[in-house]
């Protein structure tokens, strides 16, 4: 088993805060943190070439174990040489465990985890009267494929075997995702279940690493759950730090997961990172809004992934320094200005708002491509600027400038 103790280095810290810059080393290159990781759910960031994702500044991509397991199959990706080789991406790769997708089939979770209890809908609540595609027990999850209705079972061991076949540089332990409207009693049981699954993931990861020594080492991140409860979040984080594989190896890093209230995001990230080792990387699952990024980074999160930039792009929404706008609105029909004259992306260098408006109204696929390039670049570049501001000592000034302009404060 290789020594991975030096795979993450902290560079510059925010004075008096948990936030920092760092360097995360993987077999396929370094990631300068903080960093935003675009989501390529099915081994593709929807509507754009992998080469384009590289050109817009992304340092890594994240794919989904659940979707790739169902189609084309983890064995196919393995035979191709792993996720990066399969999708022609030469840089670092992440895969999530599949837990979010498996469990969301039965609970109606949104794809963005920062939410509000007051906005919860009936479908967010676990209900006996509603047919669910996923059923949880202490051993794992039984679920039906959203593609053809076939039945499958994920356990910690199955998730680890799938993610080893997919071959990403950074993989995540299988965890149970809950909603904010689950009862306190259920949340307590879920934290215990996720802890037990984490131990099984460590052990299976150790076995798979030994059996697949022809492949580069994959870093395994444990995932902290606990919803909005401070004691559960801290307990879950401490518990993960104490776990070791049967050969004595701890987690290589940690993910902060689960649905959480947006206004509590920074507080929850702080609780967790006060318990986790400083010298390990922390990944925040499922955020990309500018205010969320500043808050999470200030409180110690290093990397992030979210489908939102590409998903909203396909629906006509564009990120601008002054906020998010819908480019399919009539006021852009004769607007021959660049999408964003402060942006250095391919779309903004070559196309106008009027042209993008035309593509949306005509339902042309190119609209999704051009908008996705811009939105992904907007968020990648924002996090790059935040990283530079930490190194340069002007994080607070940048936060005030960016958020004041974006939200009109």
For the cut 80, the answer to whether the pLDDT of residue 72 exceeds it is: yes
> Is there a binding annotation on residue 253?
no
What burial class does residue 383 get, using C-beta atoms within 10 Å of its C-beta: 0-12 exposed, 13-18 middle, 19+ buried? buried
Say whether 254 sits in a helix, a strand or coil.
Answer: strand
**121 and 162 belong to one structural domain:** yes
**35 and 117 belong to one structural domain:** yes
- Domain contains 14: yes
Q: Rounded to an integer, what distance in angstroms lies between the CA atom of residue 107 and that of residue 295?
A: 27
**59 and 203 belong to one structural domain:** yes
**214 and 300 belong to one structural domain:** yes
Q: Rounded to an integer, what distance in angstroms lies between the CA atom of residue 349 and that of residue 342?
A: 10
What burial class does residue 361 get, using C-beta atoms within 10 Å of its C-beta: 0-12 exposed, 13-18 middle, 19+ buried? middle
> Is there a binding annotation on residue 98?
yes
More confident residue, 348 or 286: 348
Residue where a domain stops, chosen among 282, 305, 328: 305
Q: Rounded to an integer, what distance in angstroms lies between the CA atom of residue 50 and that of residue 69?
A: 20
> Is there a binding annotation on residue 81?
no
> Is there a binding annotation on residue 343?
yes
Q: How many domains would you assign to the chain?
A: 2
C-beta separation of 50 from 84 below 8 A? no
- Of 376, 378, 381, the closest CA to residue 40 belongs to 376
Residues 63-86, mean pLDDT to the nearest whole number: 97
For the cut 80, the answer to whether the pLDDT of residue 311 exceeds it is: yes
Task: Return the minimum-mean-pLDDT range out of 102-111, 171-180, 343-352.
Answer: 102-111
For residue 110, the model assigns a pLDDT of 45
For residue 112, the model assigns a pLDDT of 42
Q: Rounded to an integer, what distance in angstroms lies between the CA atom of residue 264 and that of residue 398?
A: 22
Residues 253-267, mean pLDDT to the nearest whole number: 92
Question: What stretches of 107-217 adopt beta strand conformation (E)?
Answer: 114-115, 134-136, 141-144, 151-154, 170-172
**246 and 390 belong to one structural domain:** no
Q: Which of 96, 169, 252, 340 is catalytic?
A: 96
**257 and 122 belong to one structural domain:** yes
**151 and 289 belong to one structural domain:** yes
Residues 6+ apart with CB under 8 A from 156: 140, 173, 174, 197, 198, 200, 201, 204
- Paired with 303 in beta bridges are 35, 283
Residues 6+ apart with CB under 8 A from 244: 202, 250
Task: Output the six-digit token pair for 319.
Answer: 């990120």
For residue 329, the model assigns a pLDDT of 97
**339 and 282 belong to one structural domain:** no
- Domain contains 2: no
For residue 130, the model assigns a pLDDT of 44
**191 and 93 belong to one structural domain:** yes
> Is there a binding annotation on residue 99?
yes
- Domain contains 310: no
What is the rounded end-to-end Cα distance, in angstroms, of the chain? 52
- Of 176, 167, 156, 138, the closest CA to residue 43 belongs to 167
Portion of the chain with pLDDT greater than 70, in percent: 90
Task: Output the six-digit token pair for 82.
Answer: 């792993």
**284 and 393 belong to one structural domain:** no
Residues 310-335, mean pLDDT to the nearest whole number: 97
**25 and 171 belong to one structural domain:** yes
Portion of the chain with pLDDT greater than 90, in percent: 81
For residue 179, the model assigns a pLDDT of 81
Task: Output the six-digit token pair for 16.
Answer: 């008096």
State the residue for tokens 């890594």.
60
- Domain contains 209: yes
Residues 31-44, mean pLDDT to the nearest whole number: 97
For the cut 90, the answer to whether the pLDDT of residue 251 exceeds it is: yes
**124 and 265 belong to one structural domain:** yes
Q: Rounded to an integer, what distance in angstroms lies between the CA atom of residue 140 and that of residue 149?
A: 18
Task: Output the six-digit token pair for 354.
Answer: 């009027």
Residue where a domain stops, chosen among 257, 282, 305: 305
Q: Does residue 305 have an active-site annotation?
A: yes
Q: Does residue 169 have an active-site annotation?
A: no
- Domain contains 311: no
- Looking up residue 34, the CATH number of its domain turns out to be 3.20.20.105
More confident residue, 128 or 57: 57
Return phi, psi of residue 61, to 5°: -130, 155
For residue 271, the model assigns a pLDDT of 98
pLDDT band at 387; cut points 50, 70, 90: very high
Q: Which of 78, 169, 305, 328 is catalytic?
A: 305
Residue where a domain stops, chosen among 284, 305, 326: 305
198-199-200-201 Cα dihedral, nearest 10 degrees: 50
> Is there a binding annotation on residue 100?
yes
Residues 135-151, mean pLDDT to the nearest whole number: 88
For the cut 50, the answer to whether the pLDDT of residue 126 exceeds it is: no
> Is there a binding annotation on residue 258?
yes
Find the domain containing 206 and state its range. Answer: 8-305
- Of 172, 165, 51, 54, the closest CA to residue 102 belongs to 172
Which DSSP string do the residues of 238-249 spell out, in sequence order?
HHHHH---TTS-
For residue 127, the model assigns a pLDDT of 40
Angle of helix 353-361 relative to helix 365-392, nearest 10 degrees, comes to 140
More confident residue, 235 or 150: 235
> What integer best gives the mean pLDDT of the chain?
92
For residue 109, the model assigns a pLDDT of 44
Residues 62-69, mean pLDDT to the nearest whole number: 95
Which pLDDT tens digit goes with each residue over 93-119? 999 987 776 666 544 444 444 445 555
């Amino acid at each position: 088993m290789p020594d991975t103790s030096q795979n993450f280095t902290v560079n510059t810290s925010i004075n008096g805060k948990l936030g920092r810059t760092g360097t995360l080393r993987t077999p396929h290159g370094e990631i300068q943190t903080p960093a935003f990781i675009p989501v390529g759910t099915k081994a593709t960031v929807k509507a754009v070439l992998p080469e384009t994702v590289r050109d817009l500044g992304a340092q890594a991509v994240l794919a989904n174990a659940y979707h790739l397991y169902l189609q084309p199959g983890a064995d196919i990706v393995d035979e191709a040489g792993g996720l990066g080789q399969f999708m022609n991406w030469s840089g670092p790769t992440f895969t999530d465990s599949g837990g979010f997708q498996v469990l969301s089939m039965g609970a109606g979770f949104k794809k963005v985890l920062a939410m509000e209890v007051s906005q919860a809908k009936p479908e967010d609540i676990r209900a006996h009267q509603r047919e669910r595609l996923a059923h949880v027990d202490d051993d794992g999850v039984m679920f039906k494929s959203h593609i053809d209705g076939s039945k499958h079972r994920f356990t910690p061991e199955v998730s680890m075997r799938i993610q080893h076949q997919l071959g990403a540089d950074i993989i995540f332990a299988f965890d149970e995702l809950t909603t904010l409207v689950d009862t306190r009693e259920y949340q307590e049981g879920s934290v215990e279940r996720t802890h037990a699954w984490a131990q099984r993931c460590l052990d299976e990861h150790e076995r798979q690493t030994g059996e697949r020594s022809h492949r580069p080492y994959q870093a395994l991140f444990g995932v902290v759950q606990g919803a909005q409860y401070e004691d559960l979040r801290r307990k879950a984080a401490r518990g993960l730090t104490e776990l070791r594989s049967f050969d004595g190896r701890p987690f290589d890093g940690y993910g902060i997961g689960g649905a959480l209230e947006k206004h509590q995001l920074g507080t929850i990230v702080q609780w967790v990172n006060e318990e986790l080792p400083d010298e390990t990387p922390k990944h925040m699952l499922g955020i990309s809004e500018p205010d969320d990024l500043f808050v999470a980074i200030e409180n110690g999160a290093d990397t992030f992934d979210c489908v939102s930039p590409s998903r909203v792009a396909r629906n006509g929404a564009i990120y601008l320094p002054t906020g998010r706008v819908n480019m399919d609105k009539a006021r852009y029909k004769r607007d021959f200005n660049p999408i964003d004259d402060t942006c250095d992306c391919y779309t903004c260098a070559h196309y106008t708002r009027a042209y993008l408006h035309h593509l949306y109204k005509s339902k042309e696929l190119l609209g999704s491509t051009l908008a996705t390039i811009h939105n992904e670049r907007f968020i990648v570049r924002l996090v790059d600027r935040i990283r530079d501001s930490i190194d340069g000592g002007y994080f607070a000034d940048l936060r005030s400038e960016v958020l004041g302009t974006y939200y009109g404060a």
